[in-house]
């Protein structure tokens, strides 16, 4: 027998190479091809979901703009309704104040008339008392 050589090329090397190639092809067909297909499908699904999310973001912006427009219109409508209500309340208040003023002025006029009448009655009463007092004074001062 010859001395052992470092690289002995006999029939074992081609058999191991054939086994390696067979194992490589078998693993590619049985394990790596389905795994690659699964990962490609998963990647496609994720991209599709991302694209649909991007597409709906424009729709969401449009809906937000519509909501803002509706809110702005509602605020304007509420503001107009409040202003109209304020005007109506102010007019009603002015009418009630005018009625109150008229009522107070009428009562004041009646009270002033009563005071004027009482003043005239008091003056007449005082005139008659003055006349009576002046006659009493004249009788006491001038004895006749």
- How far is the first Cα of the chain from the last one, in angstroms, to the nearest whole number? 199
Q: How far is CA 115 from the centre of its chain?
A: 60
Instruction: To the nearest 10°, report the CA torsion of 77, 79, 81, 84.
Output: -140
How confident is the model over 10-21, as pLDDT tens digits? 788 789 899 999
Task: Name the token pair of 2.
Answer: 């010859």
The confidence score (pLDDT) of residue 11 equals: 81
For residue 137 the two structure tokens come to 């004074």
> What tokens does 31 get?
């394990």
Low-confidence ranges of the chain (pLDDT < 70): 1-9, 144
Say whether pTM exceeds 0.75.
no
CA dihedral sign, ordered 11, 14, 19, 22: negative
Distance (Å, whole) CA 120 – CA 36: 122
Q: What is the pLDDT of residue 53?
A: 76
d(Cα 137, Cα 132) in Å, to the nearest integer? 9
Provide the 3-class DSSP secondary structure of residue 6. Answer: coil
């Amino acid at each position: 027998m010859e001395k052992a050589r470092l690289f002995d090329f006999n029939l074992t090397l081609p058999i191991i190479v054939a086994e390696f190639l067979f194992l490589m092809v078998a693993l590619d067909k049985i394990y790596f091809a389905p795994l690659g297909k699964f990962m490609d499908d998963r990647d496609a699904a994720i991209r599709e979901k991302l694209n649909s999310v991007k597409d709906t973001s424009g729709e969401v912006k449009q809906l937000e703009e519509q909501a803002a427009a509706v809110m702005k219109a509602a605020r304007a409508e509420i503001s107009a309704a409040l202003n109209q209500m304020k005007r109506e309340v102010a007019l009603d208040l002015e009418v009630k104040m005018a009625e109150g003023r008229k009522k107070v002025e009428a009562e004041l006029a009646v009270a002033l008339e009563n005071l004027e009448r009482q003043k005239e009655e008091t003056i007449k009463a005082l005139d008659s008392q003055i006349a009576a007092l002046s006659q009493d004074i004249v009788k006491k001062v001038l004895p006749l």
